[in-house]
Structure 1
Amino acid sequence: ASRRDAAPTGDFHLPGWLDVPSMAVSRSTSRLRGPGPANVSTSGWTSTMHSLRVGILLGCLAFLCGTAGAGTPLLLAGSTVLYQRVLTQPGAAARATPGTAGGRLITALSRLYVYEREDLAGQAWLRVGTDAAGRNLLGWVPARDTLAWNQQLTLALTNPAGRERLILFRDWDALRSVLDAASPPAAGRALVQGIAAGGTDRRAVALEPETYVNLYERFYLLPILEIKDYSTAAGNPVRAVKVASVTLPEARGRTAPGSALADQGSAAEQLQSFKAAIVFVVDSSLSMGPYIDETRVAITHFYERIRTAGLLDKVAFGLVAFRAESANEATNEQLEYVAQVFAAPTQVLNGEDFLTRIAGLREAPVATDYFDEDPYAGVLAALEQPDWKDRFDARHIVLITDAGALDGTVNAPAGTVPVNNRAVPAVDSSTGLNAAAVQREAQRAGVALAVMHLQTPAARQAGNLARATAQYKDLARNAMTQQEAYFPIADGTRDRLRAALDTYAGDVIAQIERSTRGAATPFGPAARAPAEAPADAADDADQRARIQAIVASLGHAMQLAYLGERRQTAAPEVFEAWISDTDLADPGLRTVEVRVLMTRDQLSDLRDLVAQVIDTAQTDLDGANSTAAFYDRLASIAATFERDPEATGRRRAPELAQRDLLLDYLAGLPYKSDVLDLKKSDWTSWGLQRQADFVDRLRKKVLLYSRYYADTFGWVDIAQTDNPRNREAVYPIPLKDLP
């Protein structure tokens, strides 16, 4: 599917949409540039069958509800608002009448509404259309050429670095045979190793590739068909999911034995051209002078090392500085910038050039308004540097700061809120985002984020450590390895910072040195660091070991992404299978992430609805008490968009709770968003400030919707006809980003 054709062109702005927030390299009004996804392509599944075509019989799914009028799709059994929908398999064709041959081919992955059903000579036929209003009925298709998909939810594979490869089981009994084993991790590992070595096992349909399948680069669908919550023989809870795999024909079969790509060489040979860049994002506020000097010296040392090793064309460093905006314009003039790129890795030639570029970097001459600064502005400035995604395969951002982050939550001293039964206005980042949203941007860009948090006596005295630690653990939880690259620097000492910088950057350089020599790259689970930073941040040996393990894991993940691009790794052919959504060997690691496919109109509707809810909530929260009605409105919107954004439209969605239809949307959802897991009793029992913080998080989600809308490459065209007016692009939004 073409993303470029589906992308918006020129300047566009839908009524009611928030503009993408400004990010100033100096204090200007320069616009943000939306980051693209990781530069990764995909193909090549290990399958236990040379050919697999499974017919999907919809009649057995008990969705038969009779025939509706031409303008209304069929409803799901037992529902008064949810429509039946299907996905087309490759080769599906629309006929004028049931039972006829030929017909017009429908694009694979098309998401269609079912308007009529008819059985003819023992074969089920469906009359389908592209929308819920009957504007574009395509005709009749055999039910066997479709997959029932009555939700918006699909799955995306996580990076396999640090976990076992995902097994796609033939049926539920096959998966259960592993879950019921005395040791599910051992049973699963043995199955993976046997198939990877060329063996077969009748329980398995396919095995996940050893390299990364990037949803943004080579689109695929893993729609959820069924779900079971189960406990292993050891008593560990497991969520088993029945999925269907659908991939465009041109995305399949590219790494079959004997293909041209099979001659590209081994992983070690391919990795000889692997390149890396590290951009240090440094707090340059009033207290940071000594640490700026330490970072300057460290990077100069790194450039000398790569020069000696002959790696100047393989490893590069950059530096971005940040402060915070002041409410006082005179102070702003002295602060000069919120975030500024001093040295871009694509432009620095050597150590001397680096020093020249950062000659003007110094600590701020005046203090900012709060102890917290604006590191998110610095991180986004680093993420959005032009061209570094095209030049470097492994990209790291290392944040160095001694303060927490402005993020829209309370910055006032403890004990001062609420004031007169009103929430205290909080100071936001200039980006409008919080740690989770910035991490999501890094995930889309394929960049690893690490944080070196200087736990200085001043931060401890200000009571800032706990707040900052929580923020930076969220920021540093990299989706590619599902680990927190958070490194506390005890007492904020310069020697401990220097040791951490040397370890992190030194190991990245060592990775490139090994790959340049053609050293073999390990596949399968890599060594994992402890989930948490050492309880005693002063334990230098533990800190060093943890940094080394995390850098190794991040490097491994980015190598798998790089090799996936080189090999054009793609998802498997069409089939149904059962999977575990967590690693059989380590239930703490997810094998898949939940995504919701939304069109531009749906995303626009969602933005408008949430904005309306926020406005209403603000009125409620400004009073003495919040109302339970706010909870009902929000839960209704979340449920609507997870099940079927087209089913109700923007006017009817807020009415669901009042019409007692909310349970209709909740019934059968295999996954829920944050709001759907929130109980009304919890909401009404929260204090005023906690409710205000929750609403602020909703505001940040609205900003993410604007960024997703502006993402040029993330949209996928799921055209059903040759007529451009009937084409419908969708965006795979992470479920956690819904309200």
Structure 2
Amino acid sequence: MPWKTEHRERSFAHTFAFGSLLAASCVLWMPAAQADLSELEGDHGHPSQTTGTPSTPPAQPIDDGLSCPGDSPCIETATQLTLRVLPRPFSNIYQEPVADGGAIVQANPPAFRPLYAFERRDIDLREGAEPRGWYRVGRTRTQADGWMQAKDVFEWRQALLVSFTHPGDPIEGRHPVLMFKDRETLQAIVDDMDMAASAQALYDEIDRGGTPEAVISLEPKRFVDITTHFYMLPILQWSQTQIDGDDVRLLQLASAVPGARGADTLQTPEYREQAQTGRDTADQGIEDIAVDIVFVIDTTRSMQPFIDMTRDAVARMARNFSERTQDRFRFGLVTYRDSLEAVPALDYLTRNHTPTLVTAERLAEILDTDAKATRVGSLGYDEDVFAGVDAALRQSPWREKSIKFVILIGDASSHLKGDAHNSTRKDETDLRREYDDANVHLLAIHLQNPKAAEDFPRTLQQFGTLARIRGNPSEQALEQVDTAQEDAYRRLVDRVTAGINTELERTLAAKAPVAPTSPGSATSPTVPGTPPAETPEVLSSVSGIWQAALIEYIGQSANPPKDIVAWSLDRDLINPADRALEVRVLVTREQLSSLAQALDSVMQALMRAEVTQAQFLESLQSVSGQAMKRPDDLAQAQRLADTGLLPAFIQSLPYRSDVLALTDEMFASMTAEQRAQLEWSILAKLEQYRAINDQVDAWFRLNDTDADSDMVYPLHIDYLP
């Protein structure tokens, strides 16, 4: 097996390494947009706990790197993080550190739901699966509830977990994650010369109703989105190998769903039935499906003919609605131009013409009366496309649980991140990540003026990233048309609007959505039902985003597994190039707020250093020293990570950050463009933190007694500085 390499073992507390901003100053492991489990690296020295044969050498008794005052949770002295533990299923909380059945305070506390640890007594983890000692634990920071045996909990020192990726369509998408009883069985499959065949045999056995001895459970075939249906898959330990030269990880995971109890295994009929329900099959509720479409249109000088043709296409779409679809669609319109600082006569940068989503007929009227192209020229050919895309996401009054689309229509690229005229401080990768988190899908139409051919590559790269089809990143919902061929544009926009209507008709007629026969197919097959007598050919771009959105919609009725400990691969077992799990960090509102405040100070220091020609750390001391608990740390620091400015939870996370590594020497050696990129990247993250904080429904309580400040959000690790 020449493509397999020597394995490396790590416990859950060991390092994730991620490159981010400064290629000139630090090795870039991979682009920030792809940061994930493939970037595990390093060793923080915390002992591992296992449920089987330990994969690491026996640990010495845990070193007391904790301060446990008794009346409040233990604090890890190096990071100032509170110590939390994850209860195993069917454990108990006792009144005293004695396993006396008559002194049980709480039997079977929710499995893998974090508890605060107030005290550790006689802890010894050298026995691997049977650690000795006791933890005094509590659901809140203010009061301990009792004692738990060390063998009944896992220490969870970093709030790292994984989530399932979007699985893609039922035919070409990835396979569900299998959850194995032990690492050895999973390792044997990964090491098999015909890994795909070994894995396929397990899937086939499960599909036939069998229960492979080595498989505990599996991910539901339908998509369970952690941002809308919160669950926890904390990493307990992991090992590393390679497949075809690509790093992959074998992960031991716990699983928990707040508010739900009971182990979900293949032996559990109810769970098995719902987990095996295909992502092309909907439960009750598909009859209520609704569709929101927001157009984002360039209204600079060259765009008026295309605005008019879009208006006509929307009007024709309205006339073609059936009784089943006419009340399900609502529309929005956001228009954009360019920087008013550069050209004040442009009148506006972005405008939301639909503070309330409207009918197709009303949108046609708005396009006719309000969405007029300016007669004033922009400063250059590129425009602030990203401002329009950002405004559509944040300002549109999306309906709850609707399928959400943005149709971007423009003839020029957007200002790059770092350009003074880029008002959002973001790029296409930032916006694509935010669209994914919001379950909004974008189709882009690039109007190509042959006179501006030099702008095509940048526009196609930006529009293509924005229009990436979720669950199938190699496919893009991107259409191109020559501006000289107005009839071609008219036909294209008709096919886009009619195609979405047709897909909705098919979904309602079949009462069970189906996937396209293959990527890029022109039409989607139907299942028995009463589809429209004549259905127009559907563009593959429309079909692709419809299927991706529909899989998310159907997944609302799926439930992730809970109350088990198992081993899984972070890739598709049959197609290892497909990522199955991605890393997130669980943050509280308080932590996100403190991170934002710290980054704001870093931003001020960067700008001050630029103006005064002072060293970066000297500027940082001047803008933030008085607000720090230990200002001497800043004066003695050699790099940003040593200043004590950033929240402790960030410095405790096992990932590599070029921002944290920033030194005076690195800052001095950076070009003006690199400094601008750094500043704008930080500003983009600050805007993202603000947006996340404002999303009321995005925050979750792990325990019913948690205060609002302790509510959590599963932050994608790419959002970290």
Shorter-chain TM-score bucket reads 0.7 to 0.9
Instruction: Judge which range, 142-151 or 620-629, deviates more.
Output: 620-629
| Corresponding residue number in structure 2 for 1:244 | 254
Selected match of 1:112 from 108, 111, 116: 116
Alignment of 1:558-569 (within 5 A): 558-565=549-556, 567=557, 569=558
**With CA pairs under 8 Å and 6+ residues apart, which has the higher RCO, 1 or 2?**
1
The residue correspondences of 1:76-475 to structure 2 (distance < 5 A) are 84-89=83-88, 94-99=93-98, 100=100, 101-103=103-105, 109-113=113-117, 115-118=119-122, 124-128=133-137, 136-161=143-168, 162-232=173-243, 234-250=244-260, 257=269, 267=281, 270=284, 271-307=286-322, 311-327=325-341, 331=345, 335=347, 338-342=350-354, 346-348=357-359, 350=360, 352-360=361-369, 361-384=371-394, 388-390=398-400, 392=402, 394-406=403-415, 408-410=417-419, 426-429=420-423, 431-460=424-453, 463-475=454-466
CA–CA distance in structure 2, aligned partners of residues 90 and 279 of structure 1: 46
Per-residue Cα deviation, 1:484-537 (whole angstroms, up to 9, x for no partner)? 5352525444344344434443432332222222165447x974459xxxxxxx
Give, in whole Å, the separation in 1 of the partners of 2:398 and 2:580.
29
SS for the counterpart of 1:331 is helix
- Counterpart CA distance in 2 for 1:603 and 1:209 is 31
Equivalent position SS for 1:291: helix
Give me the whole-angstrom Cα distance separating, in 2, the residues matched to 1:104 and 1:275: 45
**Helix, strand or coil for the counterpart of 2:222?**
coil
Match of 1:20 in 2: none
What is the rounded CA distance, in whole Å, between the counterparts of 2:629 and 2:712 in structure 1? Answer: 17
Q: RMSD of the alignment, in Å?
A: 4.5
1:158 shift after superposition: 1.6
How many Å separate the matches in 1 of 2:251 and 2:492?
A: 41
CA contact (8 A) 1:165 1:209 kept: yes
The match for 1:698 among 671, 679, 682 is 682
**5+ long unaligned stretches in structure 2:** 1-49, 125-129, 522-536, 623-627
Whether the aligned pair in 1 keeps the contact of 2:174 and 2:578 (CA below 8 Å) is yes
Q: Would the alpha carbon gap of residues 632 and 151 (structure 1) be closer, same or farther in structure 2, given more than 3 Å must change?
A: farther
SS in 2 for 1:713: helix
Aligned residues of 1:402 and 1:455 also touching (Cα < 8 A): yes
Distance in 2 of aligned mates of 1:59 and 1:125:
22
1:283-329 CA distance string (max 9 Å, x none): 1111111221222222223233334x853134454433222341279
Partner of 2:63: 65
Q: 1:238 to 1:665 in 2, by over 3 A?
A: same
**For the structure 1 residues 666 and 447, does the alpha-carbon distance in structure 2 shift closer, same or farther, using more than 3 Å as the test?**
closer
Q: How far has the Cα of 1:185 moved from its partner?
A: 3.2
Matches within 5 A, 1:672-683: 672=656, 675=659
Query: 1:245, 1:572 within 8 Å by CA — same for their partners in 2?
Result: yes
Whether contact under 8 Å (2:606, 2:679) holds in the other structure is yes
Aligned to 1:556: 547
- What is the alpha-carbon distance in structure 2 between the residues aligned to residue 685 and residue 146 of structure 1? 48
* Equivalent residues, number: 623
Aligned counterpart, 1:417: none
Task: Summarize the Cα distance change of 1:668–1:509 in structure 2 as closer, same or farther, 3 Å threshold.
Answer: same
The answer to which of 184-193 and 268-277 deviates more is 268-277
Q: Deviations over 1:605-638 (max 9, x none)?
A: 11111111122222334467976999999xxxxx
Q: Secondary structure at the match of 2:134?
A: strand
Alignment of 1:583-594 (within 5 A): 583-594=572-583
For residues 213-237 of structure 1, what are the alpha-carbon distances to aligned partners after superposition, in whole Å with 9 as ceiling and x for unaligned?
12233321111122322123x5443
Equivalent residue in structure 2 for 1:497, among 466, 480, 489:
489
Local SS of the residue matching 1:441: helix
Partners in 1 of 2:53 and 2:300 — Cα distance?
Answer: 61
- One-letter code aligned to 2:63: C
Taking the aligned partners of 1:487 and 1:128, their CA distance within structure 2 comes to 53
- 1:571 is aligned with what amino acid? P
- CA deviations on 1:438-471 (whole Å, 9 max, x unpaired) are 32332232111122222323433xx543443333
State how far apart, in whole Å, the 1-side matches of 2:366 and 2:349 are: 16
Measured in 1, the distance between the counterparts of 2:135 and 2:53 equals: 13
Q: Deviations over 1:7-59 (max 9, x none)?
A: xxxxxxxxxxxxxxxxxxxxxxxxxxxxxxxxxxxxxxxxxxxxxx9799999
Give the secondary-structure state (helix, strand or coil) at the position aligned to 2:240. strand
Counterpart-to-counterpart distance in 1, 2:542 and 2:198:
29
Q: 1:527 touches 1:553 (CA, 8 Å); kept in 2?
A: no
CA distance in 1, matches of 2:395, 2:577: 34
What does the per-residue CA deviation read over 1:408-450, in whole Å, with 9 as the maximum and x for residues that have no partner? 423xxxxxxxxxxxxxxx1232x45443333233223211112
The residue type equivalent to 2:104 in the other structure is G
In 1, the alpha carbon distance for the partners of 2:236 and 2:198 equals 25
For residue 562 of structure 1, what is the amino acid of its counterpart? Y
What is the Cα deviation at residue 204 of structure 1?
A: 1.7
CA distance in 2: counterparts of 1:83 and 1:625, whole angstroms: 37
Aligned-pair identity (%) = 26
**CA displacement 1:562-586 (0-9 Å, x = unmatched):** 2222x3x222122222222222333
2:617·2:664 contact (CA, 8 Å) conserved in 1? yes
Q: Give the match's secondary structure for 1:717.
A: coil
Indicate conservation of the 8 Å contact 1:218/1:251, yes or no: no
Q: Deviation of residue 268 (structure 1)?
A: 5.9
Q: Distance in 1 between matches of 2:116 and 2:349?
A: 50
Change in Cα spacing, 1:80 to 1:325, as seen in structure 2 (3 Å) is closer
Letter of the structure 2 residue corresponding to residue 115 of structure 1? E
Question: Which of 700, 718, 721 is the aligned partner of 1:716?
Answer: 700
Q: Secondary structure at the match of 1:579?
A: strand
2:473 aligns with: 482
AA at the equivalent of 1:367? G
The CA deviation at 1:342 is 4.9
Superposed CA deviations along residues 152-211 of structure 1, whole A, max 9, x for unmatched, are: 211121222222111122222222222122233343334234323422112222111111
- SS of equivalent to 1:362: coil
Contact 1:171-1:578 at 8 Å conserved across structures: yes
Deviation, 1:113, is 3.9
CA contact (8 A) 2:350 2:391 kept: no
Would you say the 8 A contact 1:613–1:630 is kept in 2?
no
Deviation track 1:369-415 (CA, whole Å, cap 9, x = no partner) reads 443333334334433466543373x22111011122245423xxxxx
Distance 1:582 1:286, change over 3 A: same
Deviation at 1:112? Answer: 2.3
Cα separation, partners in 2 of 1:441 and 1:667, compared to 1, 3 Å: closer
Summarize the Cα distance change of 1:191–1:179 in structure 2 as closer, same or farther, 3 Å threshold.
Answer: same
What whole-Å deviation, never above 9, does each CA across 1:75-97 have from its counterpart, x for those lacking one?
A: 879x7877753224566654442
Output the CA distance in 2 between the equivalents of 1:650 and 1:673.
23
> Does the Cα contact within 8 Å between 1:89 and 1:246 map onto a contact in 2?
no
